[in-house]
């Protein structure tokens, strides 16, 4: 056996109470060691443990449940709007409430569901897939969840008290400025944007660090699963995209509360500055949702085709190319503004060019399926639906990349249809497939396959019945964001059809939810690796133990579970009574050093409460941003204050023998 750590690190840090150096091993830990390891990495029980939890699987489950809760809220708002538009001159909803409905629907889906749910899946799966015992910065991970939860609840509470945002989910100025939107509606929206995007930025830092430094020995960059590549690329996009919208929302609220003039042309500001800042985030956001979906598809296709994904280097390069090109498209949302025509032509070219890496990935998946032994399970059905829906959404996207056509259908239901074909087809269908795929891993139970197929049929048919007619409505001239229409327009038939499809969608989602709930309570036990997958997250039990693996694995290929056993098989010698994690190098995942991870604590929760109070207080007075930072600073100080007992227990492990 060769030492995992370099000699200098092995001499300076001892791995266990017996001062045994960490090394590559072939003998698994004993049952007593595994039980002690589980107790060491577990969160405390009860309500106190719920507040203190830092285990990435517990936080990931909370992220998933919360995100789907917001998805349900946004879906109910959409059904409300469809009922209003099902017939002409309907009086179910007035114009003021309708403005709040479409604004809250878009805001909830884009800011509270689409990106957070993708990060939620990554929080749970990525550490398992790279062979780590924990996610990087586990306390910050918990803090990011609480910030996300409180920010979303703040927005929904405003809606329930008739203070819901009403200026559209992209809040164009001057409509969202102080002159045209008095009151606190836009203030709550702007603060929520800044607040929840903070959670996204924190998660991006956490995931990048996890992928770069906590991979199992042997998992070089060329052996990383495509899902991990997708989440890594997405995390870097978040770092570059989200600060733009946070800056824009902060400038908007200072215009409204402090009297600055960032967007006031009468005082030297520029309304188009808002659009540039917002869409510099807004169009990459589409790919923040889309690229994780590509990672889901690569994982599901490989498993149910029983072979590695064809063209691994091309797939990785396509993901990276998509990320780069995504930052050069934002002006195609601004073709109706008075920008130079020559400049618009470059963005037209970029909008068409970005279809190339997506096409490369689709051809690689088709080649994988064509050369494999297909097991047609329900997760793969959602992937096949993605192929059909995304191609239609991509074709309309190429149409909208043309300036003349875009000017004709701008702000019409054609754009609404394109948006939903890309986002629901390109992200939600792969997401639902991923939920079914990893459901046995998360719960340890198998769902009912027949019911899953029925829910898929309802979702697929309902989706197309809902959104395909909107293309025709847009071409017939129906504008978006109108709460009613005259009977002589001839739009009532297609609107009624779309409303029927929306309820089919809701029925499919409800059937899927019932299936998952019943399987969670009474489903068949999943056992170990029920799909016969090849990636590391299935190498442990279902669900995984608190420490993920009794012994961190050593990787010898891209699909380690499909390879014959090789030695060494795992890392031995790490502490079992302390939260010790092996840290590896960025490129080749060779062992570098060991790190002690923090224990559960309530201070991330209380720090998030303090930050929430600060943000809400600042909506009503700018001084809230000053005085509200005091309790937040106290919470953060106690969060990082070293604990004497932990320090005393770690010191003997860090001394030289």
Structure tokens at 422: 């890309």
For 586, the 3-state DSSP assignment is: coil
Q: What is the structure's pLDDT at 12?
A: 34
Q: Which of 342, 322, 343 is nearest to 331 (CA)?
A: 343
Beta 445-446 vs 524-525: how paired, if at all?
Answer: antiparallel
Q: What is the pLDDT of residue 52?
A: 93
State residue 15's pLDDT score: 36
Higher pLDDT, residue 444 or 24:
444
Q: What is the pLDDT of residue 640?
A: 87
Give the distance, in angstroms, between the CA of residue 395 and the centroid of all CA atoms in the same chain. 25
**What does the pLDDT read at residue 112?**
94
Q: Of all helices (H) and strands (E), which one includes residue 23?
A: strand 23-25
Which residue, 245, 85, 252, is CA-closest to 181?
252
Question: Per-residue pLDDT tens for 22-76?
Answer: 555 555 667 787 888 888 899 998 888 899 999 999 999 999 999 999 999 999 9
Query: Residue 224's pLDDT band (boundaries 50, 70, 90)?
Result: very high
pLDDT value of residue 123: 96
Q: What is the rounded radius of gyration, in angstroms, for the C-alpha atoms of the chain?
A: 26
Q: Is the pLDDT of residue 2 over 60?
A: no
State residue 573's pLDDT score.
Answer: 77
* Spatial CA neighbour of 287 closest among 236, 225, 237, 347: 237
179 Cβ partners below 8 Å, 6+ apart?
A: none
Q: Which two tokens stand for residue 34?
A: 């595994």
CB 334 within 8 A of CB 406: no
Helix, strand or coil, per DSSP, at residue 446: strand
- Compute, in degrees rounded to 10, the torsion defined by CA atoms 459, 462, 467, 469: 160
H-type helices in 401-539, by residue range?
Answer: 403-409, 413-423, 429-443, 449-475, 492-522
DSSP letter (8 states) at residue 179: T
Residue 216 has pLDDT above 80, yes or no: yes
Q: What is the distance between the terminal CA atoms of the chain, rounded to a whole angstrom?
A: 20
pLDDT digits 0-9 by tens, 545-565: 999 988 889 998 899 999 888
Q: Is the peptide bond before 193 cis (omega within 30 degrees of 0)?
A: no
State the angle between helix axes of 95-107 and 138-160 in degrees (0 to 180), rounded to the nearest 10: 170
Is 138 in contact with 144 (CB distance < 8 Å)?
A: no
């Amino acid at each position: 056996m060769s030492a995992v750590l370099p000699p200098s690190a092995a001499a300076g840090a001892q791995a266990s109470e017996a001062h045994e150096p960490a090394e590559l091993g072939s003998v698994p830990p004993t049952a007593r060691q595994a039980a002690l390891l589980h107790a060491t990495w577990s969160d405390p029980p009860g309500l106190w443990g719920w507040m203190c939890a830092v285990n990435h699987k517990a936080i990931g489950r909370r992220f998933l449940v919360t995100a789907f809760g917001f998805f349900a809220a946004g879906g109910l708002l959409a059904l409300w709007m469809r009922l209003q538009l099902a017939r002409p001159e309907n009086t179910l909803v007035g114009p003021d409430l309708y403005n709040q409905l479409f604004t809250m629907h878009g805001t909830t889906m884009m800011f509270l569901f689409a990106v957070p749910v993708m990060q939620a899946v990554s929080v749970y799966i990525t550490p398992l897939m790279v062979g780590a015992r924990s996610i990087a910065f586990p306390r910050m991970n918990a803090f990011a969840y609480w910030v996300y939860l409180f920010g979303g609840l703040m927005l929904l509470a405003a809606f329930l008290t008739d203070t819901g945002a009403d200026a559209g989910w992209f809040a164009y100025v001057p409509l969202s400025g102080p002159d045209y939107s008095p009151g606190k509606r836009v203030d709550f929206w702007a603060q929520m944007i800044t607040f929840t995007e903070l959670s996204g930025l924190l998660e991006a830092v956490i995931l990048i660090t996890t992928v770069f430094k906590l991979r199992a020995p042997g998992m070089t960059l060329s052996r990383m699963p495509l899902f991990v590549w997708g989440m890594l690329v997405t995390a870097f996009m978040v770092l570059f995209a989200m600060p733009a919208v946070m800056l824009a929302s902060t400038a908007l609220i200072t215009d409204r509360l402090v009297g600055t003039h960032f967007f006031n042309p009468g005082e030297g500001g520029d309304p188009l500055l808002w659009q540039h800042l917002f869409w510099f985030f807004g169009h990459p956001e589409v790919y923040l949702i889309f690229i994780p979906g590509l990672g889901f598809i690569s994982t599901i296709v490989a498993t149910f085709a029983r072979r590695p994904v064809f063209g691994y280097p091309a797939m990785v390069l396509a993901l990276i190319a998509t990320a780069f090109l995504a930052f050069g498209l934002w002006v195609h949302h601004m073709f109706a503004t008075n920008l130079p025509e020559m400049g618009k032509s470059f963005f037209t070219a970029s909008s068409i060019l970005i279809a190339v890496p997506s096409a490369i990935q689709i051809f690689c998946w088709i080649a994988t399926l064509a050369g494999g032994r297909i097991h047609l399970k329900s997760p793969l059905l959602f992937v096949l639906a993605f192929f059909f829906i995304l191609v239609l959404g991509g074709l309309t996207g190429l149409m909208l990349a043309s300036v003349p056509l875009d000017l004709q259908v701008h702000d019409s239901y054609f754009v609404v249809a394109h948006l939903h074909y890309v986002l629901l087809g390109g992200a939600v269908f792969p997401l639902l497939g991923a939920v079914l795929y990893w459901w046995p891993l998360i719960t340890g139970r198998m769902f009912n396959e027949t019911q899953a197929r029925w829910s898929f049929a309802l979702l697929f048919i309902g989706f197309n019945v809902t959104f395909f007619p909107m293309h025709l409505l847009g071409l017939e001239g129906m504008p978006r964001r109108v709460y009613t229409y005259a009977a002589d327009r001839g739009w009532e038939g297609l609107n009624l059809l779309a409303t029927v499809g929306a309820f089919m969608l809701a029925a499919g989602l409800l059937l899927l939810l019932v299936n998952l709930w019943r399987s969670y309570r009474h489903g068949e036990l999943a056992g170990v690796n029920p799909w016969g997958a090849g990636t590391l997250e299935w190498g442990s039990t279902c669900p995984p133990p608190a420490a993920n693996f009794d012994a961190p694995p050593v990787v010898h290929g891209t699909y380690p579970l499909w390879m014959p056993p090789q030695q060494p098989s795992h890392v031995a010698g790490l502490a079992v009574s302390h939260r010790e994690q092996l840290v590896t190098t960025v490129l080749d995942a060779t062992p570098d050093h060991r790190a002690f991870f923090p224990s559960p604590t309530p201070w991330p929760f209380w720090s998030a409460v303090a930050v929430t109070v600060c943000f809400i207080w600042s909506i009503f007075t700018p001084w809230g941003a000053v005085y509200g930072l005091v309790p937040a600073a106290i919470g953060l100080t106690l969060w990082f204050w070293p604990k004497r007992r932990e320090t005393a227990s770690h010191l003997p492990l860090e001394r030289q023998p």
